Amino acid sequence: MNKAGKPTTIKEIARKLRISPSTVSRALNDHPSIGLVTTMRVKKLAEELNYEPNQTAIFFKQRKTFTIGVILPKLSEPFFASAISAIEEIAAEKKFTVLLGQSLDNPERELNIINSFRTHRVDGILMSLGKNTIDMGFVERLHKYEIPIVFFDCVPENIDVPKVYCDLSTGIHEAVKAFVERGHKQIALINGPETLNATGERTFSFKNALLDNGLTFDEKYVVYSELTEESNYKAMEKLRALDATPSAILAFNDYVTFDIIKYAKENGISLGRDIQVISFANYSLWKYMDNPPLASIEQYPAEQGAKAAEILFEMLENKDLEISIPDQILASKLVYQ
Amino acid sequence: MNKAGKPTTIKEIARKLRISPSTVSRALNDHPSIGLVTTMRVKKLAEELNYEPNQTAIFFKQRKTFTIGVILPKLSEPFFASAISAIEEIAAEKKFTVLLGQSLDNPERELNIINSFRTHRVDGILMSLGKNTIDMGFVERLHKYEIPIVFFDCVPENIDVPKVYCDLSTGIHEAVKAFVERGHKQIALINGPETLNATGERTFSFKNALLDNGLTFDEKYVVYSELTEESNYKAMEKLRALDATPSAILAFNDYVTFDIIKYAKENGISLGRDIQVISFANYSLWKYMDNPPLASIEQYPAEQGAKAAEILFEMLENKDLEISIPDQILASKLVYQ
DNA sequence: TTGTAAGCGTTATCAC
DNA sequence: GTGATAACGCTTACAA
């Protein structure tokens, strides 16, 4: 800071020391060719004047911003909150800063954020897709601009781009096995909207898991919910209307489970005795509840975010935009509370 | 993008159109002095070449980055997650991007983040202090650099700086009143560590609320916890050891409440009948629980974040770094689930 | 209405 | 070991 109230610049230091700006620059960067004395003098004055390099100038010159952008559907979702938390920690280690954008599942917002990130010249992007994203054209555009992007959790299909996601089949298998071991024969799945990938994935693995455990798969035991309370209740009613009412339910996520718990309470169903539930984890407060699900399928948001960040930083360090990185698939796991 | 694979620049457009870069710049920025025809030609070519202004150059030149930094203790805390979520939405409206840093309650990390933000030349900072921050010297430093900062939720005392926080006294008064109306005479407070401001504030308001409701204040009914499960249990035991066991407890936060619930379960205490609890909200899932607290004192994280962001943007627009802005105090409120 | 030129702060290249 | 100069891409007086 100088008397004019403006940040000190290299030029100023140079003027005061009657040496050239380039010498100052080199001295500050410990360039070997600069004499020890000069270096010391420069550093001393820089200290005194509270010199701080103007990063915007450096960014501009070096075409690198030491910044990564992270795009998530919603930050207030615990799942994404812990992902971003992990990402920020890794970025901080690497001396990178994190630009943040939330899409709120709106494809238009997603594109706006990406554009904003691009004009901010972020060095790379981490992204978890919103539910409604169809057009993936932006991936190619980013590639043209040589901005690497790594997807995690909600990742695009059929595009050769680095991805980190959780394989639900392992957790679903464990869940069904746990149910079977407890003697359940009628196992249902309350799934999400049929349009979601996550939904198809669950149905697929659920079917396999049933067959692998010596049960038959009956479509009727898979009901689809729009994930509103009303829709979740309807799903429960559909299941209760079946000839052989299921005694075990795999729920799309914890929010569905909450509604199942509420529904059960209101309808005199005893959770744990009449019906057992296993859920996909977003919350982890079950231990405080009286009627928690039997277990949860953990999808490791922090680990996914961290892994994605690591891959991104590796790409940034090696400039290997072209080599295609194999999908990083974390196994989901059944976790008892 | 041009054939060299580099982003198109204004110079390139100028060269191709055989006009000067300044004309191109002006045309792209709809400068009134440029003829309509020229403007159109420029814009058309810019479009064709996928021209995108290099923001790093603009940031550098204009000494403004359209970026705000947000510093929070921990992103995975639902309280802060919803604050940042609200902040991001407001920033997006203003076409600002959000730089993110989490202090993890570590003062050193806080300073690192602030330095990083400063070198990134953020236009302003929003911050919620970590629990252990003592040295507030950075505020003055930021002031010198003319970087406005607005605090929210966990704000510094005795410093003239814009602050947004929630006044707990209103909620605590309502809580005590609610207890009294239900016939409770022995009301306890399980408080946080004595070193925290938040703790002193609660004691202070709790005392006043008791007196205002015609009860007496007895220090023994305020116990301090380190907020670990063990410490929370000890707090409960202290209360149970009192001559007149409290029938109502005000809990420092929802985590404490969770432990109270757990403790009660394990010790055959019926929540709701033997003991009623009111908590300070960080989670909002009580409706799904069997033994929820009677009510929660809501502190409106999203509103606090939003308000702080608004103040910051106002400061940025008016460059009014000097006028001191009166504290923005939101009333906390007792909310029944 | 348009062009010229300077400058933002830093660093890389070349020269001495 | 140090200095001069140019360059990054854009904006903006000032000139024309």
Where do runs of H (alpha helix) occur along chain B? 10-17, 21-28, 36-48, 55-62, 78-93, 107-119, 137-144, 168-181, 197-212, 229-240, 254-266, 301-318
Give the pLDDT of residue A249: 97
- B2 pLDDT band (50/70/90 cuts)? low
Residues B73, B74, B77, B82: is their CA dihedral positive or negative? positive
- Show me where the domains of chain B are located: 10-53, 65-165+301-329, 167-298
Using CB atoms within 10 A of its CB, is residue B208 exposed (0-12), middle (13-18) or buried (19+)?
A: middle
Token couple for B3? 């054939």
Neighbours of B238 (CB within 10 A): 16
Token couple for B296? 């929660």
User: What is the C-alpha separation between B5 and B118, in angstroms, rounded?
Assistant: 32
CA distance A217 to chain B (A): 31
pTM metric for this prediction: 0.88
Neighbours of B303 (CB within 10 A): 18
Cα–Cα distances in Å, from A171 out to A201, A286, A299, B92? 12, 18, 9, 37
Residues sharing a CB contact under 8 Å with residue A57, sequence separation 6 or more, in sequence order: B60
- Of chain B, the percentage scoring pLDDT greater than 90 comes to 74
| DSSP per position, A6-36 | SPP-HHHHHHHHTS-HHHHHHHHTT-TTS-H
The pLDDT tens digits for B19-63 are: 999 999 999 999 998 989 999 999 999 999 988 899 899 999 988
Measured in degrees and rounded to the nearest 5, phi and psi for residue B99 equal -95, 140
CB atoms B287 and A59 under 8 Å:
no
Mean pLDDT across the stretch A99-103? 93
User: What is the C-alpha separation between B46 and B41, in angstroms, rounded?
Assistant: 8
State yes or no: pLDDT of B241 exceeds 90.
Answer: yes
CA of A252 to C1' of C7 (A): 59
- A336 pLDDT band (50/70/90 cuts)? confident
Nearest to B177, CA basis, from B144, B152, B214, B147: B214
State yes or no: pLDDT of B92 exceeds 80.
Answer: yes
CB atoms A84 and B100 under 8 Å:
yes
The pLDDT tens digits for A140-199 are: 989 888 899 999 999 998 899 999 999 999 999 999 999 999 999 999 999 999 998 899
Q: What is the CA radius of gyration of chain B?
A: 27
Q: Which helix (H) or strand (E) holds A151?
A: strand A149-152
Q: B167-298, what's its fold?
A: Rossmann fold (3.40.50)
Residue nearest to nucleotide C8 (CA to C1'): B61
Residue nearest to nucleotide D13 (CA to C1'): B22
Give the pLDDT of residue A4: 57
* The domains spanning B65-165+301-329 and B167-298 adopt the same CATH topology: yes
Give the pLDDT of residue A320: 61
Give the pLDDT of residue A52: 87
Select from 3.75.10.10, 3.40.50.2300, 3.40.50.2000, 3.40.50.2020 the CATH code of A65-165+301-329. Answer: 3.40.50.2300
Residue nearest to nucleotide D2 (CA to C1'): A23
Give the pLDDT of residue B4: 58
* Strand D at less than 7 A from CB of A33: yes
Distance from the first to the final alpha carbon of chain B: 56
Give the pLDDT of residue B3: 55
CB atoms A97 and B84 under 8 Å:
no
Using CB atoms within 10 A of its CB, is residue A209 exposed (0-12), middle (13-18) or buried (19+)?
A: buried
CA of A25 to C1' of C12 (A): 11
Helix (H/G/I), strand (E/B), else coil: B68: strand
* Strand D at less than 7 A from CB of B16: no
CA distance A59 to chain B (A): 7
Lowest mean pLDDT among A124-128, A263-267, A306-310, B141-145: B141-145
Give the pLDDT of residue B119: 82
Q: Describe the strand order of the beta sheet including A187-191 as a list of residue ranges.
A: A222-224, A187-191, A248-251, A276-280, A295-298, A333-335
Size of interface A-B (CB pairs under 8 A): 145
Mean pLDDT across the stretch A262-277? 92
The pLDDT tens digits for A33-57 are: 898 899 999 999 999 998 889 989 9
Give the pLDDT of residue A5: 64
* Strand D at less than 7 A from CB of A38: yes
CA angle A285-A78-B170, nearest 5°?
75
CB atoms B289 and A287 under 8 Å:
no
Is residue B104 within 8 Å of residue B48, measured between CB atoms? no
User: Which residues of A are less than 8 Å from B56 in CB distance?
Assistant: 56, 59-60, 63, 65, 120-121
User: Which residues of A are less than 8 Å from B113 in CB distance?
Assistant: 92
Give the pLDDT of residue B324: 77
Return chain B residues 30..69 having CB < 7 Å to nucleic acid strand D: 51, 53-54, 57-58, 60-62
Find the CB nearest B285 among A120, A146, A285.
Answer: A285
